[in-house]
């Protein structure tokens, strides 16, 4: 999705709890902003309490603003697939429900083609013992999550969920995609 600035684009992904996916993508070169939010349901149910019910159609998702001259959509997908288990249907670990589904919200035929090719390639490679369950969904309205969810991992590093769920994913991406991680 194009943004107001000609040099940036946005991508929207869902890969389980948005605290985890936000922290993973915030560390990447070329990424200027990562916002947690909801996508897939109606405006009146785009709040944490409603989405937690699993009945809204929303997924916990992130909107990534990035510079395609520094990081490509294809590279973002590489990180996305390494940051969670894309073979789990409607769950990530102990987080269960459609709100935790693995999804790529594509904007246009190019993003759809790139995502389809990536999934086909990963399935053919045997990297995963099960087929990828990630859905490809046409981009719809992204609703920002409540303020206390934004930057949650960075603001709450001692919270047990962050320690045991988020940080291992951040470290895994740092190891596998060191060339894409911003120097500290």
Active-site residue numbers?
Answer: 17
What's the token pair of residue 35? 């916002």
**Is there a contact between 32 and 79 (Cβ–Cβ < 8 Å)?**
no
| Strands 9-15 vs 95-96: parallel, antiparallel or unpaired | unpaired
**Is there a contact between 68 and 29 (Cβ–Cβ < 8 Å)?**
no
139: DSSP letter: -
Rounded CA gap, 131 and 4, in Å?
A: 37
| Strands 31-39 vs 91-92: parallel, antiparallel or unpaired | unpaired
């Amino acid at each position: 999705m194009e943004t107001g600035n000609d040099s940036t684009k946005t991508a929207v992904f869902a890969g389980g709890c948005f605290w985890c996916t936000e922290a993973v993508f915030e560390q990447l070169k070329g990424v200027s902003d990562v916002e947690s939010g909801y996508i897939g349901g109606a405006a009146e149910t785009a709040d944490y309490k409603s989405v937690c019910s699993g009945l809204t159609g929303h997924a916990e998702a992130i909107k990534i603003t990035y510079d395609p001259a520094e990081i490509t959509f294809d590279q973002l997908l590489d990180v996305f697939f390494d940051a969670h288990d894309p073979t789990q249907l409607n769950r990530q670990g102990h987080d269960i429900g459609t709100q935790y589904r693995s999804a790529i919200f594509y904007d246009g035929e190019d993003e759809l083609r790139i995502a389809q090719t990536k999934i086909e390639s990963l399935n053919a490679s045997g990297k995963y013992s099960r087929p990828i369950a990630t859905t490809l969904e046409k981009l719809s309205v992204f609703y920002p999550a409540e303020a206390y969810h934004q930057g949650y991992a960075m603001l709450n590093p001692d919270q047990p969920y962050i320690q045991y769920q988020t940080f291992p994913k951040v470290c895994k991406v740092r190891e596998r995609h060191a060339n894409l991680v911003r120097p500290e």
